[in-house]
Amino acid sequence: MEATDVKELEQAKTPSAIKVLLKELYRDKLALVSLIFLVLVAAFVYGLSIFLDQDQIVTVDLFAINEPPGEDFILGTDYGGRDVFGQLIIGTRNSLTIGILVTLLSGVFGIAYGLISGYYGGHVDNVMMRILDFMNILPFLFIIISFVVIVPDYNTITFSLIMSAFMWMGIARLIRSKALQERELDYAQASKTLGTSNFNIIFKQVMPNIVSLIIVTMTLNLAANIGLESGLSFLGFGLPESTPSLGTLISYATNPQTLEHRWWIWVPPAVLILILMLAVRNVGEALKRAADARQRRG
């Protein structure tokens, strides 16, 4: 068979999962707008932060304390005379990075854990699920707070790692229940009789069949994880002020003076985080519908 023939055949394939997802997004205008907004914000924030110097922005300037928005500072300054706009850009970048990193790290580990547990079943499943139950009952806020004290170099990477260690259980449980179903299906059994190794059956045969579930869950987790970081930072156990994030900016509002008179410090990050989470959620919901043929609009 000639190479051209092969190429033509490949183009004649049925719509792939990705195409269905894109079609669903296109039908759901709100989700489409959300996606475009997300891409723009991400591009803007990551692009602009290359030119901004984090150390310079977080340096205290006593001559420019609590300036309202004006010519020098687009969004004014905070109580340390630091440019709020610069902090907002870098903070959004940090928050997004943490959200994505935590989602990926906890997702990858949780998916592998759930697949292995569900696929093998029996005693393996029992032991792995009891370990998961143990992780679940740990008071993770308390432990994160302890870590904050112990870890000397506290930045986006270490914070993501600590958070991921406590965020993988939900997705692991979900994937495990699906893997339990899939392993009983004939195609998985057939692979066994064909001499395929368990590792290959799990990751090459079973996983592609639950990929839509994985995409949907990870997207919805992303929204939750961005929020969680801000929540922790707001409580004072997230990132330090030297690493601005949306949460640290909002936490300035714990000062009644700031809350009442200096709206420019906390309103923009609060609005931004609200819109970000909503947008991610909209996209996630559209993906969720795309994964289920009965709910599709497209």
**Buried b / exposed e along 97-109 (16+ C-beta atoms within 10 A):** bbbbbbbbbbbeb
Return the structure tokens found at 40.
């723009």
Angstrom distances, CA of residue 116 to CA of 171, 190, 205, 207? 13, 18, 13, 11
Report d(CA 182, CA 199) in Å as an integer. Answer: 15
3-state SS, residue 1: coil
155 touches other proteins by CB under 8 A: no
Burial group, residue 256, by CB count within 10 angstroms (0-12, 13-18, 19+) = exposed
Q: Which of 44, 134, 142, 187 binds other proteins (CB under 8 A)?
A: 187
Near other proteins by CB under 8 A, which window of 7-15, 26-34, 130-138, 265-273?
7-15
Write each residue from 13 to 52 as x if it is in contact with other proteins (CB under 8 A), else as -, in one continuous string: xx--------------------------------------
Number of residues that bind other proteins (CB under 8 A): 24
Q: Which of 54, 136, 158, 209 binds other proteins (CB under 8 A)?
A: 209
Q: Which of 4, 194, 256, 294 binds other proteins (CB under 8 A)?
A: 194
54 touches other proteins by CB under 8 A: no
Q: Which of 12, 50, 62, 137 binds other proteins (CB under 8 A)?
A: 12
127 touches other proteins by CB under 8 A: no
Q: Which of residues 211-270 bind other proteins (CB under 8 A)?
A: 211
DSSP state letter for 66: T
Q: Which of 68, 70, 208, 236 binds other proteins (CB under 8 A)?
A: 208
The enclosing H or E element of 60 equals: none
55 touches other proteins by CB under 8 A: no
For other proteins, give the closer residue by CB, 23 or 281: 23
For other proteins, give the closer residue by CB, 138 or 185: 185
Q: Strand runs (DSSP E) across the chain, as ranges?
A: none
Q: Which residue has the tokens 């996630």?
A: 284
